[in-house]
Amino acid sequence: MSKEILQERATALKALHVPGDPVILPTVWDAWSAKLAVDAGFAALTIGSHPVADSVGKEDGEGMSFADLTARVAQITGAVDVPISVDVESGYGEAPQRLIDGLLEAGAVGLNVEDTVHKEGKRLRTPEEHAALVGELRKASDAAGVHVVINARTDLFVRADGDEADRVDRAIARLRLAAEAGADSLYPVGRHDPDTMRRLTSELPLPVNAIAIPDTDDPATFGPLGVGRISFGPFFQRVLAGHAETLLARWR
């Protein structure tokens, strides 16, 4: 894929992030699920590490390699003509330049990077360390000549890290540093009550990513909370798996 096409797709993906009018990026894991989402009318997609790992029989949390992931990304980008963002977990131990180059070679124009370091005992990066990684990814993107859309994620909520009383404060401080370092959107991953989500979207300087459960959440509730991006994590795959179990049970 040419650099011009990659940049066009990156520009389009970034422009879709509008606080209050969120882009919905169905989280897919293979060419079949990607085509399903695009045929349903979605303009961009995200590839989730958890469903990809499940689809190849490996564990989430970097049980697969970056090469495993990019091989699947290339299959997806070869099947659909929309901007694609990819969950690269904590980076698979790869250098930032290798992450950017590998994603662009596979046809992706966005990435999601978290602050849990799976290959180092699942420790949490410090706010400054995570911001530095975001900054290195931005430099690598600039060097490659494509503005890869960086979605900087913090796992403070899903890890229930530290005192709950100041967890929102710490998440905001951490994500503000990532924004300053060059992120395009921010992902305080977890299920948040409306007051918490309003605070996150009002106090963070970039579009905020919310996670949604596709068969039970109301799509109309996210915009009024100021959300700029919605993805499904592993839940789209899990909902489909539930339907498959019901169908197959008829034949046991």
* Mean pLDDT on 39-65: 96
* Model confidence at 138: pLDDT above 90: yes
Q: Which class would CATH give 3-244?
A: alpha beta
The single-letter DSSP state of residue 160 is: T
| 110: amino acid identity, one letter | G
Tell me the chain's radius of gyration from C-alpha atoms: 17
Cα separation, 38 vs 41, in Å, equals: 5
| Angle (CA) 85 88 91, round 5° | 145
CA atoms of 187 and 110, how far apart (whole Å): 14
What are the backbone angles phi and psi of residue 250, rounded to the nearest 5°?
-65, -20
Give the 3-state secondary structure percentages of the chain, helix then strand then coil, rounded to 5.
50, 15, 35
| Tokens matching residue 72 | 């699947």
Q: What is the pTM of this model?
A: 0.96
In the chain, the percentage of residues whose pLDDT exceeds 70 is 100
Q: Place 128 in a pLDDT band, splitting at 50, 70 and 90.
A: very high
What pLDDT, on a 0 to 100 scale, did the predictor assign at position 165? 94
Taking only the tens place, the pLDDT of each residue in 61-117 is: 999 999 999 999 999 999 999 999 999 999 999 999 999 999 999 999 999 999 999
Residue-wise pLDDT for 186-240, tens only, equals 999 999 999 999 999 999 999 999 999 999 999 999 999 999 999 999 999 999 9
Residue 220 has what DSSP assignment? G
In this prediction, residue 161 carries a pLDDT of 92
Calpha distance 171→136 (Å, rounded)? 21
- Does the pLDDT of residue 54 top 90, yes or no? yes
Local confidence band at 1 (pLDDT 50, 70, 90 cut-offs): confident
Q: Is the pLDDT of residue 29 over 90?
A: yes
Report the C-alpha gap between 17 and 168 in whole angstroms: 22
* Domain map (residue ranges) of the chain: 3-244
Residues 6+ apart with CB under 8 A from 214: 26, 232, 235, 236, 239
Tokens matching residue 115: 């602050």
**CA-to-CA distance for 47 and 110, rounded, in angstroms?**
10
